Structure 1
């Protein structure tokens, strides 16, 4: 009888120890993930994300694909239809989901809760995945210029980093596809989608490579600040338009100072995120910014970082003021030390964590 009790006791003890071990291992994995995520992101950026620009085989691939015209786009054919270029954005613009417009105090409370601090971002180059869909109406009432700028940057920075990251992932996938001897049907369909998205002729890989690339974060922030008066303009507050993009076919807001006969409007967006995406698509496809893309490609091929002060020189056609507009952008970039954010990367969001390669299972 005592022997049976001892055996049963031993089995129960072993079961408890096994359960505790599994729980401890799961807890250790989760803790390790949160602790090592920032370290891993920095390591991955340094060792993987830039690999396509330091690998010598890439230069050989460029010469083969471009036939000696490394920096040239094919501008004999242009997908100028706004609906085709922005089809994914226009689809989301029709979303029936109502976004919540938070007050400045609510947003500040959120930033404080998640410990979102710009000085920390400048130091660590890591951005909290905060997604604010609409600007707060009270932003125009913030009398302290420094605080108003800080609020604006905190809102738009994660959105710009997120969209640039999508392009970075697409660009990496493009180069992986090009490195293969043959492609799957899924890869071919993906390429067809990207040709359409970037207004590129079918199979024009050279032009697609030039257009499918990032815009420096500092340049995007500076343009958003200039176009919206640091988030206080009517277009930004009523139409989520951060970059003042015109439309002749889409839904938009009519400029108050528009001359008689002018039919254009400033495009409206369902969210600030879509405005950022449309802006990047605009700079990456419109013929007015061909020289910007050419300068960017030269920097890439020389293994140089994308310098906003260099690329901004090719934005004279973005505004009627021409070279004066460039000077204003460069002044905003320098005075606000915006280049500190150019290497910023986003920390994993809750959705990213849900897709993490491990799960905690209760035993």
Structure 2
């Protein structure tokens, strides 16, 4: 079954081809921490992952009801439009071992790491089973090379969506029927009331990017740098729970009487996309979105270290979790990720 946003995307495509702003519309679904230091953080690097102590994603989220499957399958399958509109596309490489994957990422991406300004869109759908067996430096490099392009691409998608909504808001009283239907479906998807005068500003408040340094740090923390069972078997980077996905993984130490499972994703990018949606919609993260909006208002770059302070509800560990995420950002100089752009190569 198509999701509300996927239906909206389809309508965007139709309108774009007719009205001439298809490039903007299609970009909505366009796939759209480096190794400066390898310092270890006590209790973070090399720790045994307790799968039942990973973050509990806000239960308010519509898990597995289609709403968080923000699909880009339509544009990904249409190579003609992809090439015609110059939409950045992530190239996935696969390998049977971590060493082989790193070799391919270097060959297809860049021998020099980190890149200075632009990052080639080369990634992988999943991490290899033996990722924990390579050196810490190699493990981190693989993790950064795989995750950074995904996070940047997902931010590009959201940025393009914001551009579209900003455009529609300027002519809100003269929208076509199809444009109005698009707005209504996006309102439902992002849980924003159309009845309020502040509708467009409310939607833009939720439809926004996540700092790259923060996303990378949380993914590394929750997944044990890609080595956790949840990540290896379910492509689940953030320990996201589900109560409806029958094929989800059952936590090994799930308490008697509990019914949650660990959600399964078909790729690492889907896991990142779901995490973005959680922070942008979940009731527990309103303060996070307020902080982001304030940075926007003041013309400042999104700062993951600063915004992490609003994520005490993300994990049952509260402030200790926030402190650990901030430590990972600082020790690994992940803030440098925030200025990288995805190359069109």
Q: TM above 0.5, one fold?
A: yes
Q: In structure 1, what is the equivalent of residue 178 of structure 2?
A: 186
Q: Identify which of 229, 237, 243 aligns with 1:248.
A: 243
Gaps of 5+ in 1: 1-77, 350-363
Aligned to 1:252, what secondary structure does the other structure show? Answer: coil
Q: Who is 1:106 aligned against?
A: 100
2:311 is matched with: 315
Give the structure 2 partner of residue 207 of structure 1. 202
Q: Deviations over 1:22-72 (max 9, x none)?
A: xxxxxxxxxxxxxxxxxxxxxxxxxxxxxxxxxxxxxxxxxxxxxxxxxxx
**In the superposition, relative to structure 1, how do residues 156 and 176 fare at CA in structure 2: closer, same or farther (>3 Å)?**
same
Could you state the TM-score of these two structures normalised by the residue count of structure 2? 0.71
Q: Does 1:259 align with 2:255?
A: yes
Question: Matched residues in 1 for 2:60 and 2:131: separation?
Answer: 38
- Structure 2: distance between partners of 1:169 and 1:91: 17
Q: Which runs of 4+ in 1 moved over 6 A?
A: none
Normalising to structure 1: TM-score of the pair? 0.68
SS of residue paired to 1:186: helix
Pick the structure with greater CA Rg. 1
- How big is each residue's C-alpha offset from its partner over 1:151-203, in whole Å with a ceiling of 9 and x where there is no partner? 11111111111111000000011111111252223322322232233122335
Distance 1:102 1:186, change over 3 A: farther
- Contact between 1:243 and 1:279, CA under 8 Å: does it hold in 2? yes
Give the conservation status (yes or no) of the 8 Å contact 1:118–1:154.
no
Q: Secondary structure at the match of 2:300?
A: coil
Q: 1:132–1:155: 8 Å Cα contact kept in structure 2?
A: yes
- The 3-state SS of whatever aligns with 1:188 is helix
- Rounded to whole Å, the distance in 1 between the matches of 2:95 and 2:187 is 35
Instruction: String of CA shifts for 1:195-242, please: whole Å, max 9, x gaps.
Output: 233122335323211100000000000000000000000000000001
How has the CA–CA distance of structure 1 residues 175 and 236 changed in structure 2, closer, same or farther, with 3 Å as cutoff? same
Of 184-193 and 282-291, more deviation after overlay is shown by 184-193
> Is the contact made by 2:305 and 2:326 (CA closer than 8 Å) also made in structure 1?
yes
- Contact residue 227 and residue 243 of structure 1 kept, 8 A: yes
Q: Tell me: CA distance 1:331–1:79, structure 2 relative to 1, closer, same or farther (3 Å).
A: closer
Deviation for aligned residue 1:84: 5.0
Matched position secondary structure for 2:130: helix
1:140 maps to 132
Pair 1:281-2:277 in alignment:
yes
- How far 1:87 sits from its partner (Å)? 4.3
- Distance in 1 (CA, whole Å) between partners of 2:215 and 2:155 is 10
Residue 293 of structure 1: aligned partner: 289
Distance (whole Å) between structure 1 residues aligned to residue 202 and residue 105 of structure 2: 40
Whether 1:230 and 2:225 are equivalent positions in the alignment is yes
- The alignment's C-alpha RMSD in Å is 2.4
The answer on 1:216 being equivalent to 2:208 is no
Aligned residues of 1:195 and 1:208 also touching (Cα < 8 A): yes
For 1:270 and 1:202, locate their aligned partners in 2 and report how far apart those are by CA, in whole Å: 33
Deviations 1:246-295 (A, max 9, x none): 11112421211211111111211001110010000000000111110011
Question: Do residues 119 (structure 1) and 110 (structure 2) align?
Answer: no
Structure 2 counterpart of 1:86: 68
Aligned partners of 2:106, 2:73: CA distance in 1, in Å? 34
SS of alignment partner, residue 174 of structure 2: coil
**Structure (1 or 2) with the greater helix fraction:** 1
Give 5+ residue unaligned stretches, structure 2.
Answer: 1-58, 78-92
Partner of 1:352: none
CA distance, structure 1, for counterparts of residue 155 and residue 182 of structure 2: 18
Instruction: Check conservation: 1:85, 1:199, Cα contact below 8 A.
Output: no
Structure 2 equivalent of residue 156 of structure 1: 147
CA distance in 2, matches of 1:297, 1:179: 19
Hey, what does 2:161 align to over in structure 1? 170
In structure 2, the CA distance between the partners of 1:80 and 1:341, relative to structure 1 (3 Å rule), is: closer
